[in-house]
């Protein structure tokens, strides 16, 4: 299982980003809580169309679960279409990954 957490900065001490599709970074973890990768969201500041691009990008990376503060309705639909589960979360990424895996 591969989990992505939307984050405000690129390290596990970051806060979970509130806006899933517009998060500045995504931290990728495996099912044991090991940080696999950190990617910059290239769509975080585009004017329109971030949600479909991010959903496709996460699907291409093999993400099965996305954690973020808030998910827009369109983004939820797109994630579901790509078989990506959504988990609302807030706080430190390092704590949220533990909660998701528990």
Structure letter (DSSP) for residue 92: B
Average predicted confidence (pLDDT) for the chain: 94
Structure letter (DSSP) for residue 5: E
Q: What is the pLDDT of residues 45-88, one digit of tens each?
A: 888 989 999 999 999 999 999 999 999 999 999 999 999 999 99
Percent of the chain with pLDDT over 90: 86
Query: Residue 17 pLDDT more than 90?
Result: yes
Tell me how many domains the chain contains. 1
DSSP-based three-state secondary structure for 97: helix
**CATH code for position 29:** 3.30.420.130
The answer to whether the beta carbons of residues 40 and 17 sit under 8 Å apart is no
Query: Residue 21 pLDDT more than 90?
Result: yes
Determine the structural domain holding residue 29 and report its residue range.
2-101
């Amino acid at each position: 299982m591969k989990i992505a957490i939307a984050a405000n900065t690129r390290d596990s001490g970051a806060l979970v980003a509130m806006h899933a599709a517009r998060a500045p970074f995504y931290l990728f973890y495996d099912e044991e809580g090991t940080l696999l990768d950190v990617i910059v969201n290239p769509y975080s500041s585009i004017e329109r169309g971030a949600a479909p691009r991010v959903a496709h990008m996460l699907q291409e990376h093999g993400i099965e679960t996305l954690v973020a503060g808030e998910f827009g309705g369109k983004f939820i639909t797109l994630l579901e279409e790509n078989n990506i589960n959504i988990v609302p979360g807030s706080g430190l990424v390092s704590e949220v990954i533990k909660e998701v895996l528990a």
